[in-house]
Amino acid sequence: VIICYVQGTNVRTVGDFSLTDDPVPPMYEYFAREVERATRCGVEKILIDPGLGFYYRNLQDSGVRVRHQMTTFLNTFRLRTLGFPICHALPHAFEYFGEEVRSAEPFFAVLAALGKTDLFRTHEVPRIRAVLETMKVV
């Protein structure tokens, strides 16, 4: 089971995303509660997904959104104390990468890997694999 972080009751009812300088504390609190609920129901195989791909009205400014994504990727390691692997969907950031959009996911994969992400959801498997293999060497 992949537990996705969402502010609000569920992903269909979200409005604005409450941005903070440190995105981890509200995520940690949410995941601690949801992991407890899942394990009480007998779920043993769990992944934690900070939910960076969900739509929020106030994250339409690409600078704000990408900055939040980068901060979250780099701080993912702090969620690992919950005892479950972390999953991330890698963004495209079309606004910044333009015609080089296929370079976006490898860029974000570096940040996510530095933050100790365990599972990368990507459309660029060969590129991400090459990046991650290279990072193992250095």
Beta-strand runs (E) in the chain: 2-4, 47-49, 87-89, 119-121
In this structure, are residues 19 and 69 in contact, taking their beta carbons and an 8 Å threshold?
A: no
Q: What is the pLDDT of residue 3?
A: 94
- The CATH number assigned to the domain holding 123 equals 3.20.20.20
Looking at the structure of the chain, the number of domains it has is: 1
- Max Cα-Cα span within the chain: 47
Q: What is the pLDDT of residue 14?
A: 64
Residue 8 per-residue DSSP state: S
Buried b (16+ CB within 10 A) or exposed e, 109-118: bebbbebbbe
In this structure, are residues 85 and 118 in contact, taking their beta carbons and an 8 Å threshold?
A: yes
Q: Report pLDDT digits (tens) over 11-60.
A: 666 666 667 778 899 999 999 999 999 999 999 999 999 977 666 665 66
Q: What is the pLDDT of residue 63?
A: 82
* Domain with 10 in it: 2-137
Q: Report pLDDT digits (tens) over 54-101.
A: 666 656 667 888 888 899 999 999 999 999 999 999 988 888 888 988
**Which residues, 6 or more positions from 85, have their beta carbon under 8 angstroms from its beta carbon?**
47, 48, 118, 119
